[in-house]
A and B are shown apart, each in its own frame.
Chain A
Amino acid sequence: MEKSINRRLLLKLLGAGGALATLRPSLAQTSSQAETPLPSFTGPGPNPYWNGVHPYAVYPQKLPLLRMTDRPVQLETPRHYFRTAFTPNEAFYVRYHLDEIPNEIDLSKWRLKLEGNFERPLELSLEDLLTQFKPVSIAAVNQCSGNSRSRFQPRVSGGQWGNGAMGNALWTGVRLKDLLDAAGVKPGTVQIQFEGLDRGKGPENLGSGRFIKSLDLNDPVLEETILAYAMNGEPLPMLNGFPVRLVVPGKFATYWLKHVTWIRALTEEDKNFWMATAYKVPDTPNGSTTPEDVAAGKVKTVPIGHFNMPVRSFIIDPDGSSPLVVGLPVKVRGVAFSGHGKVVKVEVSTDDGNTWRTALLGPDYGKYSFRTFEFTWRPSAPGKYVIAVRATDEKGNTQPDTPVWNPGGYLWNKIERQEVVVLAAK
C-alpha cells in the first residue's frame, strides 16, 4: 500500500503521472487481446467486427479457433491466420451440418465406393488412391457459402459467420475424372453424387439424416475437381474431411464434401434436401433480391453451384486493435481471390473509398488461390481513417460497394473496410 502511494506521489512530482495513472486504461497484452471479452453479438445491426463474435475453443488437431456451435462443429478462423497465402491446416475453419461425424477411422476397413450407373463399380482403399492414380495438386480457396453472413441487413438466420469461414490450401489428390474413367460412366448419367461419413439423428431421407451433394456430369468444373488426401502437404485434419475430401475449385464449400466415401453416377437429377431446398440463391445476376420480393413469392432460385465465388479481398493488417503513429509506415496487408479467375489488381483506399491506389500483389499460386497484397501507407496527420480494399479479377469482375441481400445470407462480396486511428508523434 505504502509503495503505491509513494509511486503516485513521485509521478505527481514528475508532472507526468497524475493523468496517466488515472485516465489511461491498462494496456492490452497483445494486439488482438483486449482486457475484456467481446459481449456476444446478436444484432439487429450488421456485425461490425471482422470475425464473428464467438469464444475461442481448442479442438483436436486445431489451434484455438472461434467456436460458433459445438454440435455440429462450426469453427471460424481468426483474422490473423490470413496473413499468408496458405491457411495453416490447424487454423482452417470447420463447418458441419450434422452432428455424427467421425473421430476415428480404420483405414483397413475404409473404402471409397464408386457405385450406381458405372460400367465397373469400384471399391478403393486409401492406398489404392495413393498408388494407382496420378497425384495432382491445386491451390484453391474453400469458402463457406454463408461466409460473412453476419453482415446482412436485415439480418438473416443461420450461422452468424464473420469473414473467417474460408481458407486456402494446396490440395493434393486424385483427379475425379481419373476415378470416373476407371469406373466407366455409363450413358444416361446426368449427375455425380457425393456422400461422406457425416450423419445426423434425423430420418435418413431428410436433410437432418444425411448430407449429400451432386454435380452435373456436364459441369466444366468436373475437369478440375479432385479428391484430396493431402492438404498443404499433410494428411487432412479429421475435422476437415480425413481421409479424403472433394475439392471443387471456384465453387462454394457446400460442394466440397468431407470424408467422401460414396461416389454415385445418377441417371436422374438429385432431389435431396441439400440440392433441391438448401443452398439456393435467387436467379439474378449477383444472387441479390429483397425481403419484399421474397415475401411476395416472386423469387426464382437456383442451386448456389450455378455461381462461381464472387471476387473478394480482405484487410488483415492493420486490424484497428492499436493506434497507428503519424509519420511511421504501416503495411496494409491481406488476401484476395475470385472463383472466376486470377486476381489481377488489388486497390487500397485510405480515405473510405474516395481515392484508390494499387497495391503490390504477392506470388501467383494459380487462379483459385488466395493472392496476398501489400500496400505501404505513411499517415501524415493524426485522426480517424477508414481503409478500404477492392479486388479485380482477370475477367474484369470488381467488388461492388453495395451489399447483396438474399434469405440464405450467401454471396457477400461488398468492399471491406477497416477503421484505424492515427495518433500524433509529438
Chain B
Amino acid sequence: MKRILILVALLMAVGLVVAEVPGTVAGQWTQGTLGVILQPAPAAAGEGATIKIGALPMYTAELADGEGKELVMGYCSICHSVTYITMQPPLANWKPTMDKMMKTYGGEKFIPAEAAEKILAYLQAYYTPQTRKQ
C-alpha cells in the first residue's frame, strides 16, 4: 500500500495523470479565434411604443488587390456589400450580372459608364473560374 502511494506521488511529481487509460487521449486544446465571436452589448430599451434592436453588424469582404478594386468597393457597395462577389461560384462571364446591376436594378443612375467598364474588367480579371485565387 505504502509502495503504491509512493509511486503515485512520484508520478504526480513528474506531472502525469495517474489514471491514464490505454487507447484514450486526454483533452486537447487549440489556440486561435475559431468560434470566437465578440459578445454584443445589450441594447438599451427606449420608452413609449418604440421597439428597437440597435445597429446591425457590418462586414466587408476582402477583395483581390488589383486595378478597379476601389471602384468596386465604392460603387457596388452603394446598394449591397461586396460579399456578393466573393460568395458567388466564380462566374465565367460577369457581363450579364453587370448588365443586370446597371439596367435592371438601375445602377446607371450612380455608376458612370467608364467606371462600369473598369468594374467589369476587374471582375473578369479576378473572379472567374480561371482567375479566382482562393
Contacts and interface: CB of A to CB of B under 8 A. Distances in A.
A71 B43 CA distance: 21
B51 A6 contact: no
B66 interface: no
A68 B85 CA distance: 11
Contacts of A99: 79-80
Contact of A201 (B40, B78, B81): B78
Nearest to A6: B14
Contacts of B15: 3, 6-7
B119 to A, nearest CB: 16
Contact of B134 (A3, A39, A60, A273): A39
Interface in A30-76: 33, 35-37, 39-40, 42-44, 54, 56-61, 64, 67-73
B109 A202 contact: yes
A26 interface: yes
Contacts of A61: 53
Contacts of A296: none
B101 to A, nearest CB: 8
A27 B58 contact: no
Contacts of B131: none
A3 B109 CA distance: 68
A196 B49 CA distance: 19
A interface majority secondary structure: loop
Contacts of A20: 23, 25
Interface string B77-106: 111110110111111000001000000111
B105 A58 contact: no
Contact of B106 (A36, A64, A105, A202): A202
B52 interface: yes
Contact of B27 (A27, A58, A201): A27
The size class of the interface chain A forms with chain B is: 35 or more
B19 interface: no
Contact of B28 (A27, A69, A155): A27
Interface string A323-355: 000000000000000000000000000000000
A386 interface: no
A43 B89 CA distance: 6
Interface string B32-62: 0011011110010000111111111111000
Contacts of B84: 69
A104 B81 contact: no
A208 B34 contact: no
Contacts of A242: 51
Contacts of B56: 59-60, 70, 73, 103
B125 to A, nearest CB: 16
A69 B52 CA distance: 22
Contacts of B22: 14, 16
Contacts of B53: 60-61, 103-104, 238-239
B37 A104 contact: no
Nearest to A109: B49
> Lowest 9 A-B CB distances belong to which pairs?
A104-B52, A43-B89, A155-B89, A26-B28, A208-B105, A60-B53, A108-B49, A107-B49, A71-B81
Interface of A: 3, 6-7, 10-11, 14, 16, 20, 24, 26-27, 29, 33, 35-37, 39-40, 42-44, 54, 56-61, 64, 67-73, 99, 103-108, 155-157, 159-160, 200-203, 206-209, 238-239, 242-243, 273, 277
18 contacts: A6-B15, A16-B22, A26-B29, A40-B134, A42-B132, A44-B89, A58-B39, A69-B80, A70-B83, A71-B58, A99-B80, A103-B56, A108-B48, A157-B88, A201-B79, A202-B109, A207-B104, A273-B104
